[in-house]
Amino acid sequence: MKSTFKFLPLKYSWVAIHPQPIGVVQFIGGAFFGTFPTLFYRYLLEKIYDKGYTVIALPYRFTFRHWSVAIGLVQEQSALREAILAEAKRRDYAYNIYGEDPTGAAKNYFWIGHSLGNKYIALLELLTDLETKSEQEVLGDCVGPDQYQEIEDRLKGTEFKDISLLNQPSILMAPAITGIESAIPIKAVANFVKRLGLDVKPGVEETHCLIKGSQLFGLMGLISFDRDKIAGDTVAWLKANLPHQPAQMRELKGEHLTPLGYRSGDRTLVDTVLNFLKAL
């Protein structure tokens, strides 16, 4: 069956449904560019699709409250899979993969992030522990009571298994765990917002504390770039402090925005991502 790369708006995401999918890739880009992933990351996503994956592009959502967005992303996945399943059946595409448990041993569901989008993936990885541990065991003293309350409020009526990234490998491209300064590119404006007492939650140190206390992050690939001035500190910290060394790790030539591209892009990056997907 001929495969045509085309994004469809389903629920709150953009989905390119492959007629014979070998896996499902869920992608979250960085601030601004990630708001329009089908435009700014099109080259990379098309090459992933061409390899046989159904691609879900999740638009980046700007907010100070990162827990709520991260939890919302996975809460929507069940309804999204049902919508994809219905559309695949209507088109007479292969559809069995959409009926699978994403946390099952088959490992057919993947997450890929770029820049700040990786933070949402990291928070979901951390929350995966809630299926077997208490909030106190997962969050400890890393965050304040306000964040405990935010997570409890957001998870009301949600099964922990439905927010789990268990058995879902992730690929972090140029991850940037930073404060509001990376989401607001104008430094003066970012500093002004901080002076008002506003910053992202969890902050940098809080996120670092949570990651160091976790025993997850075992199914992960890490891609960095040698001239990246935005994600360099985060990459160095992750290499030194992750509870498990990334299963796949590579530094490529390039800058922070190397993953961007509409009609053309970085072929070495594409090949690396595809190799990571196969290996993970």
Q: Which pLDDT band, with edges at 50, 70 and 90, does 162 fall under? A: confident
Residue 59: the pLDDT is: 93
CA–CA separation, 274 and 50 (whole Å)? 10
Domain limits, the chain = 8-279
For 236-277, what is each residue's pLDDT tens digit? 999 999 988 899 999 999 999 999 999 999 999 999 999 999
Alpha helices in the chain (DSSP H): 37-40, 42-50, 66-75, 77-90, 117-127, 135-139, 145-155, 187-195, 204-212, 232-241, 267-279
H/E stretch holding 181: none
Residue 2: the pLDDT is: 64
CA–CA separation, 143 and 152 (whole Å)? 13
For 65-81, what is each residue's pLDDT tens digit? 899 988 988 888 889 99
Three-class SS state of 38: helix
For 196-207, what is each residue's pLDDT tens digit? 767 789 999 999
Tokens of 24: 């499902």
Residue 181: the pLDDT is: 66
Q: Which pLDDT band, with edges at 50, 70 and 90, does 178 fall under? A: confident
For 16-66, what is each residue's pLDDT tens digit? 999 999 999 999 999 889 999 999 999 999 999 999 999 999 999 888 889
Minimal CA–CA distance to 219: which of 108, 142, 144?
Answer: 108
CB neighbours of residue 156 within 10 Å: 6
Neighbour-count burial for 252-267, b at 16+ CB within 10 Å, e otherwise: bebebbbbbbeeebbe
Classified by CATH at the fold level, domain 8-279 comes out as Rossmann fold (3.40.50)
Residue 218: the pLDDT is: 85
Q: How far apart are the first and last CA of the chain?
A: 27
Q: Which residues, listed in sequence order, are joined to residue 13 by a DSSP beta bridge?
A: 10
Spatial neighbors of 231 by CB under 8 A, at least 6 apart, are: 115, 174, 175, 176, 224, 225, 256
Tokens of 2: 């001929």
Burial class (CB in 10 A: 0-12, 13-18, 19+), 113: buried
Torsion angles phi and psi, residue 98, rounded to 5: -75, -15
Residue 206: the pLDDT is: 94
Q: Do residues 116 and 176 make contact, with C-beta atoms less than 8 angstroms apart?
A: yes
Spatial neighbors of 205 by CB under 8 A, at least 6 apart, are: none
For 98-150, what is each residue's pLDDT tens digit? 999 999 999 999 999 999 999 999 999 999 988 888 889 999 999 999 999 99
Minimal CA–CA distance to 114: which of 227, 212, 32, 8?
Answer: 32
